Amino acid sequence: MDLKLAGKTALITGASKGIGRAAAEVFAAEGCNVVIVSRSAEALAAVKSAIAQTSNVRVDTVAADLSDSKAVDKLAKDYPDIDILVNNAGAIPGGTLLDVSEETWRKAWDLKVFGYINMCRRYYALMKARKDGVIINVVGNAADTHDPEYICGVAGNASLTAFSQSLGCVSPRDGIRVVALSPGPVETDRIVTLMKKKAKDRTGDENNWQDLRKPLPFQRCATPEEIGAMAAFLASPLSGYTSGSVVTIDAGLSARAGAF
């Protein structure tokens, strides 16, 4: 399917691995130039090299810590002409209310919650001036499943979901679409780390983490490529009437959460 993204430019945060890398590869395969951002210059260089082997598009890499609003300001100054913004940076740690310290909580939110909000603030203004643009916020279904062992992520994701809906319900007035993409468990390094912690807490052995996948739909997590493909579709003109929405990809996990 031609998503009609050729010639556009997408900026993707958290793009050195996982969902962000998969999204960058899908956008590039559709002929979209990409600006990929993460903290690791070395990891970004590897992604750029991989994309260059399969897609003939421009790939710019930016090593930046987006928990710092000054880094966000510099990014917007250096790359103002972005058609599509995919906010994906941030890994909120697991733990109950009593497990997660205030310092850990604030550090996690500085990157994911306030990082997303600051990126939206800067790029929404630029897109509004052009009367065109798309913002995809990759959030997570913890906002719906309410896992008390991931309470910092539950609260952060719920905030970003409501933020995306609030912004996306009025953004069409400015020619902009804003969508929250809400994956369930995805086979990334972050999810594996969380599952290992749960396995250790429950059984004393983190190597039992793979058993936690058995109760999942299809007995597996989603793949990063499945989420990246949806991000590209939602950003495309083929999904041009989608804004203020939350698109959940979790094989029904959040829909059935209340039954258990």
Assess whether pLDDT exceeds 60 at residue 84.
Answer: yes
**Per-residue pLDDT at 224 exceeds 60:** yes
- Positive or negative: CA dihedral 42, 47, 50, 51: negative
Report which residue type is found at 104.
Answer: T
Question: Which stretches within the chain are classed as H helix?
Answer: 18-29, 41-52, 69-78, 102-111, 113-130, 142-145, 151-168, 189-203, 224-235, 253-256
DSSP conformational letter for 252: T
Are β-strands 33-38 and 176-183 bridged in parallel, bridged antiparallel, or unpaired?
unpaired
Over residues 78-94, the mean pLDDT reads 94
What is the average pLDDT across 184-213? 81
pLDDT in tens, 2-51: 999 999 999 999 999 999 999 999 999 999 999 999 999 999 999 999 99
* pLDDT confidence of residue 259: 45
Find the Cα–Cα–Cα–Cα dihedral 50, 53, 59, 61, rounded to 10°. 30
pLDDT at position 260: 44
Its CATH class, for the domain covering 9-186+222-247, is alpha beta
pLDDT value of position 258: 53
Higher-pLDDT residue of 81 and 192 is 81
Higher-pLDDT residue of 1 and 82 is 82
CB 172 within 8 Å of CB 131: no
